[in-house]
Structure 1
Amino acid sequence: MDASDDAHSGVIALRTKVSAQQTDIIDLRAADCRFHTTVRTHQEEIRELRVADRKLQAQFIQALTTLNSCQTQLTVTLGCIQILEAARVPAQ
């Protein structure tokens, strides 16, 4: 083997290495694209979950407000019942 053969072998080895690296780059770009697609999908899901959370919070606040109103009405009604019961007690 002479210097020309060595140089030719070196060139072939470099081309093989470059080709392998280009394949790796293509694979990495594809993986990166899939990753970004996944991230965008997750971001959309997070946005949807936040919207649902805000709706549930509003419903919860409304339920608490309604419960508070019911408790107030019950307290007033119980007070009226006590007044009526006290009025029915015969004086001795």
Structure 2
Amino acid sequence: MYGREIKRGNDIDEMSRLAIELREGVDYDTGRPLTDVEKAQRWSIVLSSIAQVSIAAYYAGHPLTVDDVVLKDKGTSGAVHETGGIR
């Protein structure tokens, strides 16, 4: 038995589902074996999620200010100059 047959009720969260699929090598809902491409897709989701949480944790401790995101030197940006020309 695979997937929702085992759980009987609320579905599990996405990360638990991915962990089960990667550990067992089978699709959570159908029970069929995962191809190499499907395994790579699931690993990319896991790694992307880890990166997202890491970035969020970093910026929670080091918040951005307006000075951090405003371009300081407009002369090299290719921005349109006040006179209408490109610098």
TM-score range, shorter chain: 0.3 to 0.5
Bigger radius of gyration: 1
Which TM-score applies when normalising by structure 1? 0.32
TM-score when normalising by structure 2 = 0.33
- Asked which structure has the greater RCO (Cα within 8 Å, sep 6+), the reply is 2
* Structure number with higher helix proportion: 1
